[in-house]
Amino acid sequence: MTNAARHARVNEATVTLRSTGDAVIAEIRDEGCGFELRDSVAEPDGSHVGLVAMRERAALVGGDVTVRTSPGKGTAVRAAVPIMGPEDGGDSERW
């Protein structure tokens, strides 16, 4: 959502949060300027880490992040995180 507000050059984005039963899926979609996906690689100086960090954090809990975008075509970021209870091996202390 911060990326949409900061980079997309539009003043509207759509946020959808839903559950499939196995996973929670968050999608943030804007109709803004979009970008070349290769531009989203983190810089060696530690800047532009947002998307990379999102992927890493999703992977840590068995989820993933998908980005669909291209210049002039808007951006959709989808994060899927599995729903786990203690009986699934999840660590309830973390939640």
Ligand X SMILES: Nc1ncnc2c1ncn2[C@@H]1O[C@H](COP(=O)(O)OP(=O)(O)OP(=O)(O)O)[C@@H](O)[C@H]1O
CB atoms within 10 A of CB 58: 18
Complex with Mg ion: residue 3 or 69, whichever CB lies closer: 3
> What's the closest the beta carbon of residue 8 comes to ligand X, in angstroms?
4
Determine, following the binding rule CB under 5 A, whether residue 62 of this chain makes contact with Mg ion: no
Complex with ligand X: residue 33 or 84, whichever CB lies closer: 33
> What's the closest the beta carbon of residue 80 comes to Mg ion, in angstroms?
19
Determine, following the binding rule CB under 6 A, whether residue 50 of this chain makes contact with ligand X: yes
| Residue 77 C-beta-side C-alpha neighbours within 13 Å | 21
> What's the closest the beta carbon of residue 22 comes to Mg ion, in angstroms?
28
Q: Binders of Mg ion among 32-51, rule CB under 5 A?
A: 50
DSSP 11-65: S-EEEEEEE-SSEEEEEEEE-S----GGGGSPPTTS-S-HHHHHHHHHHHTT-EE
Residue carrying the six token digits 């210049």: 71
- Sites of contact with ligand X (CB under 6 A): 3-4, 7-8, 30, 32-35, 39-40, 47-52, 75
